[in-house]
Amino acid sequence: MDDRRLETIIGRLLQTGVLAAAATVLAGGVLYLVQSQSGHVDYRSFVPGSPSLRTLSGIVLSAAHFQSQAIIQLGLLLLIATPVARVALAVVGFALERDRLYTVISLIVLVILAFSLIHAT
């Protein structure tokens, strides 16, 4: 694998991830508007979302049941996962190129990303 091919693959991954995330959020937004067309929103007090929208398994399960807010959340998770997948692909690509320095640097970045996502509050 050469640098140009790796750049092309990473570019396609980023394009696909962003487009998939945008399409998912758009579908969830349209579904939200259809499902809550008569609802009145009160902006004076904050009401947190349901607990099922705070975990990955809850979001996926709720999205599978066509809950609009969960589909929007799933699209946002796809958007967050896109650069993480890009770094993971860079690790693999640099390892295949036998470029130890960039493999180690990419692994460090991937560990930092994973740590920050796991320990986010």
Print the SS3 string covering the chain. CCHHHHHHHHHHHHHHHHHHHHHHHHHHHHHHHHHCCCCCCCCCCCCCCCHHHCCHHHHHHHHHCCCHHHHHHHHHHHHHHHHHHHHHHHHHHHHHCCCHHHHHHHHHHHHHHHHHHHCCC
The residue written with tokens 């958007």 in the block is 79
pLDDT of residue 121: 59
In tens digits, the chain (121 residues) has pLDDT values of 678 888 899 999 999 999 999 999 999 999 998 888 767 777 788 877 788 888 888 999 999 999 999 999 999 999 999 999 999 999 999 999 899 999 999 999 999 999 998 887 5
Please state the pTM of the whole predicted model: 0.82
Separation CA 113–CA 46 (nearest Å) = 30
Helix 68-96 to helix 3-35 angle (10° resolution) is: 170
